[in-house]
Amino acid sequence: MAHEVDCSYVETRLRDTKRRMMAAIELVNLRVSYQVDVCTRESSEFCTRHHDAQKDRAAVRAEIEVLRSERLTYEQEGIQTRKALARSEAYCRALEARVAVLETHARRLEWQRQAADDLAIQHIMRTQDLEAGARDDTLEDTGSSS
């Protein structure tokens, strides 16, 4: 006679094992889903930051170009200003030289005026002396004829 073997214990064990495996798989699936969500969110945040960084980089580059352009403009203005200053300084030196020449000429004219004044005074004095001498002669002539 065949002897029946009670397999209920094995079947129960098998069902319990299957239930634990399903629970473990479900737990793993939950963990994987959570990690996928986290990675998706982090990836999205990274993409947003990356996009923002690219926009910031483009803005910074544009600002750098503006500053370079302004620097070139300022350098050109500086060159023009230095040239204008050099021309102005040269003009001032020329004016100073002209003033020195005019001052020298004015001193010469003043000396000539003083010399002319001195000659005029000498001439007036000589004329007065001659007139006085002529009066004396006239008085002597009129006094001797009387």
Distance from C-alpha of 9 to C-alpha of 16, rounded to nearest angstrom: 10
At 2, the pLDDT band (50, 70, 90 cuts) reads: low
State the pLDDT at residue 67.
94
Summarised one tens digit per residue, pLDDT across range 17-39 is 999 999 999 999 999 999 999 99
Task: Tell me what the mean pLDDT of segment 29-57 comes to.
Answer: 94
pLDDT at 125 over 80: yes
CB atoms within 10 A of CB 141: 10
Pick the more confident residue, 109 or 146: 109
- Report which residue type is found at 50: H
The answer, as to whether pTM is greater than 0.85, is no
Interior CA angle at 48 toward 44 and 50, to 5°?
115
pLDDT at 144 over 70: no
* Residue ranges of E strands in 34-138: none
- Report which residue type is found at 20: R
State the pLDDT at residue 146.
58
